[in-house]
Structure 1
Amino acid sequence: MNSSVIVRMMQNLINKKFYDGKDEAIEKLDVYFAMNRISEEEYMDLVMLAEEMYPDPVDPESTPDTTDPVDPPVEIPVE
């Protein structure tokens, strides 16, 4: 399998979110890069694509609450 076939295959898999997460996709890329199956430039492009397609999950407890507090209803006396 030549470099261009591997790059297209990995682009398709990453774009379709085939892997469970970014780390799994990057581990696959690490193997191809370590075995000299893809170039450094191709590796970096694919890692950036994986980072874009698999964003880090946001912890809802760590984000500040920016919603406006609801004011309690005001009772107006009736005469």
Structure 2
Amino acid sequence: QESLFKQYGIALSRQTMADWVIRCASLFKPLYDRLHEVLLQQPVLHGDETTVKVVKEDKQTSYMWLYCSGTDSP
């Protein structure tokens, strides 16, 4: 990401982008909590566990869990 911005003349460090992600995560927490609450009220849930490579850590893997329901709701 950093090198992509640099190609366009934008100096944006990884640390700055990481700080933005952390700040956004805290701002989106109320939305996450509400979506979690609504999801748990659904009669059926579908889940998927996906592995994600950690940047610059060849032997490190993280996990992402995704959930959805079978109904059309938030």
| TM-score interval, smaller chain | under 0.3
**TM-score, normalised by the number of residues in structure 2:** 0.26
Larger radius of gyration between Structure 1 and Structure 2: 1
Pick 1 or 2: higher relative contact order, CA cutoff 8 A, min separation 6: 1
